A and B are shown apart, each in its own frame.
Chain A
Amino acid sequence: MYDIAIIGAGIAGSYIARELSRYKLDIVLLDGENDVGNQITMANSAIVHAGFDAPSYKLKGKFNAAGNIMYGKICDDLDVPFKRCGSLVVAHDEFEMATIHDLYKNGLKNGVPGLKILFKDEVHAMEPNLSEDICGALYAPTAGIVSPFELCAHVAENAVDNGVTLKLNHMVTAINKVDDYFSITTADENIDAKLVINAAGLYADDVYEMVGEPYFKLLARKGNYFIFDKDAGSLVNSVIFPCPSKNGKGILVSPTVHGNLLIGPDASPVDKGDVSTTGEQLDYIKANALKNCPALPFKKIIRSYAGLRNTPVADTFTTTDGDFILEESPVKGFINVAGYESPGLTSIPAVAHYVVEEIVKPLIPNIESNPNFDPKVRPHLRFEELSDEERADIIKKDPKYGKVICRCETITEGEILDVIHRNAGARTVKSVKKRCRAGMGRCQGGFCSPRVVEILARELNCSLDEIMYDQQDSTYILAGQTKSAKEEA
Chain B
Amino acid sequence: MIKELTCITCPMGCQLTVVDKNDDGNFEVTGNTCKRGPKYAINELTNPTRVIPTTVVVRNAMLPRLPVKTAEPIPKGKIFDAMKVINQVVVDAPIKSGDIIIENLLGLGINVVSTKTMAKC
Residues of A within 8 A of B (CB): 482-484, 486-487, 489
Contacts and interface: CB of A to CB of B under 8 A. Distances in A.
B87 A487 contact: no
Contacts of B88: 486
B87 A484 contact: yes
B90 interface: yes
A486 B59 contact: no
Interface string B76-104: 00000000000110100000000000000
B64 interface: yes
A119 to B, nearest CB: 63
Contacts of B65: 482-483
The 5 closest A-B pairs by CB, nearest first: A483-B87, A486-B57, A483-B57, A489-B59, A486-B90
B32 interface: no
Contacts of B60: 489
A484 B65 CA distance: 13
Given A486-B57, A486-B88, 17 more contacts: A482-B55, A482-B65, A482-B87, A483-B55, A483-B56, A483-B57, A483-B65, A483-B87, A484-B87, A486-B87, A486-B90, A487-B57, A487-B59, A487-B64, A487-B90, A489-B59, A489-B60
Most buried by A among B56, B57, B64, B90: B57
A287 B33 CA distance: 52
A484 B83 CA distance: 12
Nearest to A464: B64
A486 B65 CA distance: 11
A287 to B, nearest CB: 43
Contacts of A486: 57, 87-88, 90
B37 to A, nearest CB: 35
B109 to A, nearest CB: 25
Task: Give the bracket for the number of chain B residues in contact with chain A.
Answer: 10 to 19
A483 B59 CA distance: 13
Nearest to A489: B59
Contacts of B55: 482-483
Nearest to B56: A483
Nearest to B92: A489
B17 to A, nearest CB: 40
A489 B90 CA distance: 10
Interface string B56-80: 1101100011000000000000000
Interface of B: 55-57, 59-60, 64-65, 87-88, 90
Contacts of B59: 487, 489
Contacts of A484: 87
A443 to B, nearest CB: 22
A281 to B, nearest CB: 42
A489 B60 CA distance: 9
Most buried by B among A483, A484, A489: A483
Nearest to A487: B57
5 contacts: A482-B55, A483-B55, A483-B56, A483-B87, A487-B64
Contacts of A489: 59-60
Contacts of B57: 483, 486-487
A489 B64 CA distance: 11
B90 to A, nearest CB: 6
Contacts of A487: 57, 59, 64, 90
A488 to B, nearest CB: 9
A2 to B, nearest CB: 45
A439 B71 CA distance: 39
Contacts of B87: 482-484, 486
Contacts of B56: 483
Contacts of B64: 487
Nearest to A484: B87
Contacts of A483: 55-57, 65, 87
A483 B90 CA distance: 10
B45 to A, nearest CB: 33
A482 B60 CA distance: 17
B66 to A, nearest CB: 11
B83 to A, nearest CB: 10
A482 B87 CA distance: 8
Contacts of B90: 486-487
Nearest to B87: A483
Nearest to B86: A483
A184 to B, nearest CB: 44
A482 B55 CA distance: 9
Contacts of A482: 55, 65, 87
B81 to A, nearest CB: 16
A487 B56 CA distance: 10
A484 B60 CA distance: 19
A447 B60 CA distance: 25
A484 B56 CA distance: 11
A435 to B, nearest CB: 28
A403 to B, nearest CB: 15
A489 B92 CA distance: 10
B108 to A, nearest CB: 21
A395 to B, nearest CB: 23
Nearest to B88: A486
B76 to A, nearest CB: 22
